[in-house]
Structure 1
Amino acid sequence: MKKTSLFTAALAAATIWSGTALAVDLSIVHGSVGKDQEVLRAELDRYEAATGNKVTIVSMPESSTDQFGQYKLWLAAQSSDIDVYRLDVIWAPQVAAHFVDLTPHVADIRDQYVSAAIESQTVDGKLVGLPMFLGAPALYYRTDLLEKYGEKVPATWQEMTATAKKIMDAERAAGNADMQGFVFQGAAYEGLTCNAQEWINSFGGGRIVDTDGSININNPKAAEALTLAASWIGGISPEGVLNYKEEDARGVFQSGNAVFMRNWNYAYALAAGDDSAVKDTFAVTTLPSGGEGLASAATLGGSHLGVAKYSKHPEEAIELVKFLNNYDNQKERAIVTSRPPTLNAVYGDAEVGEKQEFIPLWKPVVDNALARPSAATKRSYNEVSSEFWTAVHDTLSGNGTAEQNLAKLEARLKRLKGAGW
């Protein structure tokens, strides 16, 4: 395995070969939460020191839905303002035409990456993005509160609901009026799509759109899952959860005011930080299932780095992408941000396991994570996801039953599909 020092030495040599005349200015657009931005800046500082190139971070809002809206504007305009894009795992089929094919540039290292991550970024044989980190959410829970009330870690959503209510009610009766039972991402955006497909799939309700492109989401198991979720609002979950994104949920849990939380891996490092009210009183487990004999479902997340075809410095941008995804940078990212790496070898790194035990434990979850139907629905994925999260949000908000909203969703998805995706 090549280490950062060898890679940066090669970059430096290339720069020194023709003096500082080769130095260029690059930009990377990067939506982030938690410690992502500070870790990226440290990595870029090392890159700049080795190459003489300068890299500016163009920050984006937390919501991936908002990010993608801006990305589409830049790409449609063929803007050269952005060289490297941090891409959500689901975007490759929609943006492939705007990005450099990385296949020939990473032929010597692509086998070192998690195969599913490479596959998720490959469109018609073109590697759109080099995998940066993966994600598969967890159920965060308060170990001290479960122990206090003699409750076990829930295996099903029904058990989670009952346990959350019991502990929440008892804590409120004891004087903690702010205690919530369960917080998650309930706002009408891509995060709700991730949450809701987990509920539905874990109940045996299938996928939003099946891998063959067929539409079977309007079924009794899907309705059962959404009906249970709707019962949480104003019960074990605050009504405000209908506007929560990742950081909103983390803020409640990390302040000590929630028994359970569904969130991505990045929240682990932050909840375990010295400034966290729950530093030594929480743990994680896989998301619950919809009942005995049914399997848990965790949405596949993650971000990957692609080079825009419109970059004025594509060669330097490609080298930057490779640098940011090398072993040492992925190792540091795993330790500091608890983001699951995309290089297989990092999962077996002893220091990573010692400093961030969450990472090696989560490898099987990442390997078996549930993909969203971006490959099946191609360029229509954004519209599909929007229709799905709207139907779910309406159900959670009490605007129609799960059965009514799933029937409307089915009709809308069939109109979107037309003769084919």
Structure 2
Amino acid sequence: MAERSRGPGRRRRFAALATVALLAPGVAACGGDDGGVPVINVYYSTEQSFQKLVDDCNQQAQGRYRMVYQVLPRAADEQRVQMVRRLAAEDDGMDVLGLDVTWTAEFASAKWIREWTGAAKDEASRGTLQQPLESATYEGKLFAAPKNTNTQLLWYRSDLVPNPPKTWDEMIQMSQDLKSQGKPYEIDTMGAQYEGLVVLYNNMVASAGGKILNDDGNKVEFDQGAVDALGTLQKFASSGVTNPSFTNTQEDAARLQFQGGSGAFQLNYPFVWPALQEGAPDLKDKVKWARYPGIDAGTPSKVTIGGFNLAVSTYSKHPEEAFEAALCLRSPEHQLFSAVNDGVPPTVESVYDDPQMDEAYPFKDDILAQLKDGSNRPVTPAYQNLSTVLSATLSPPADIRPEQDAEQLRGSIQDALESKGVLP
């Protein structure tokens, strides 16, 4: 978020492609095949230029199948609810599904999506970064092909901060020093009661070496690292370094706060970079980037990954063609196109070496480094319930009581795990 911590898409670089995206059919026929040619309905939402990929793959298919792009709502929760309801009804009009990285366990455990095996699995795994691949895996089996990924970076004003902080404590102290000097000082990031707050907290938990759930995802662990992260979040929120609207801030609001000139630091996704080039000419040459802050100076941060994976519905009438279509949509060349035009980082490592990435992603080395040792959110079929419980307890962050809230969360999260996790 967040729309699952994946961040909003990059502003379009070419007006013509934007026009194609706007004209893409929102609802195409979900019914039968087209004159004997299998129709593969693809449900997806996050990329404005996705129709271009569909058209390209249809041409490559040479009549073996024809994909139709079914545009899902922008909001992640609305996407999930629409798919869950139709899959629960065993709707055979759904073929390829764009799943947020947190949905794999739920959809797989409900047997709504097919396991990837054989040559399709080999192709989906080849060269794919480990963390995105793990986000598509449940109980040791691959259930989706990673299409794109994401990670937040630290964006900072180099005219105010010559050397970026490596830890939260260091960043908070720098911000307070700037504030005392009457300079822009805010640390702008997401603090509203939604998935973005869960991601912020999970970044701190993972960076502290903590765990919210056990490795099997069926029992609360909530160890000392998770408790320490509660303390870090509370300290950040109560140190006088956030924007006054912190508890209502989501991704784009954080971007606008920073672009407005009051921020010295911003923790956000790469979409902020092209937006900065277009919308803040006075700031664009002053802003640099660095690795997300950690907890201990000697231990690099572990940042939560976002992104979307492509799954094949259990009820698809044409699974063989659906797997082929999904592989085409997430091919290295199409991941490169999506990265350059829509600002969604690739999951195939070799794409980062392409010269086209140099201009679109001058920070690509930092993104790749964070992705290689990043963190996934807790893996459980009941993730939606877990996220709801966490965000409610964490909000507002300044009121967190680490030990008391940890004890409460151990009980409420276990209750969430024992629910069905189908609809929150």
TM band (smaller chain): 0.7 to 0.9
Could you say what secondary structure the match of 1:61 adopts? coil
**Aligned equivalents of 1:75 and 1:180: distance in 2?**
48
Aligned to 1:160: 171
Is the Cα–Cα contact under 8 Å of residues 165 and 236 in structure 1 kept in the other structure?
yes
- Please name the residue that 1:5 is paired with: none
Q: Take 1:393 and 1:290, find their aligned partners in 2: how far apart are those partners?
A: 21
Q: How does 1:16-415 map to 2 (within 5 A)?
A: 21-32=35-46, 36-37=47-48, 39-50=49-60, 51=62, 53-62=66-75, 64-96=76-108, 97-109=111-123, 110-124=125-139, 126-146=141-161, 151-167=162-178, 170=181, 181-203=186-208, 206-211=210-215, 213=217, 215-217=220-222, 219=224, 221-232=228-239, 235-271=240-276, 273-277=277-281, 278-353=283-358, 355-374=360-379, 378-396=380-398, 398=399, 401-415=401-415
Q: Report the CA distance shift for 1:218/1:113 in structure 2 as closer, same or farther (over 3 A).
A: closer
- 1:304-360 superposed Cα distances (whole Å, 9 cap, x missing partner): 111212234434332221111112111122233443212222122233235423223
Give the alignment's Cα RMSD to 1 decimal: 2.9
The alignment partner of 2:395 has SS state of: helix
- Structure 1's unaligned 5+ residue stretches are 1-19, 173-178
Letter in 2 for 1:299: T
Deviation (angstroms), 1:406: 2.0
Q: 1:198 to 1:117 in 2, by over 3 A?
A: closer
Structure 2 equivalent of residue 17 of structure 1: none
Residues 187 and 243, structure 1, Cα contact 8 Å, conserved in 2: yes
TM-score after normalising by structure 2: 0.78
2:25 corresponds in structure 1 to none
Report deviation, 1:417: 5.1
Q: Secondary structure at the match of 2:35?
A: helix
Q: From the superposition, tell whether residues 141 and 407 of structure 1 become closer, same or farther in structure 2 (CA, over 3 Å).
A: same
Evaluate the alpha carbon distance shift between residue 370 and residue 283 of structure 1 in structure 2; reply closer, same or farther with a 3 A threshold.
same
What percentage of aligned pairs have identical amino acids? 26
**Following the alignment from structure 1 to structure 2, what is the Cα–Cα distance between the partners of residues 128 and 168?**
49
8 Å contact from structure 1 (residues 164, 181) kept in 2: yes
- Aligned in 2, Cα 1:168/1:73: closer, same or farther, shift over 3 Å? farther
1:363-416 deviation line (CA, Å, top 9, x unaligned): 221010012111xxx3222222222222211443x3x52332222112223444
Moved more, 21-30 or 134-143: 21-30
> Normalized against structure 1, the TM-score is what?
0.79
More helix by share: 1
Task: Supply the AA of the counterpart residue of 2:368.
Answer: K
* Structure 1 range deviating more: 185-194 or 308-317: 308-317
Q: Quote the Cα distance in structure 2 between the aligned partners of 1:245 and 1:79.
A: 34
Is the contact between residue 147 and residue 330 of structure 2 (CA under 8 Å) also seen in structure 1? Answer: yes
* Matched-pair contact (CA < 8 Å) for 2:211–2:223: no
Q: Distance in 1 between matches of 2:366 and 2:418?
A: 43
**In 1, Cα distance between equivalents of 2:220 and 2:139:** 23
Q: How many residues align?
A: 377
Q: 1:183 to 1:130 in 2, by over 3 A?
A: same
Q: Distance in 1 between matches of 2:387 and 2:160?
A: 36
| Aligned equivalents of 1:25, 1:414: Cα separation in 2 | 42
> 1:269–1:336: 8 Å Cα contact kept in structure 2?
no
Mean Cα deviation higher: 102-111 or 92-101: 102-111
Specify the code of the residue in structure 2 equivalent to 1:226. L
Distance 2:122 2:410 in 1: 45
Paired residue for 2:15? none
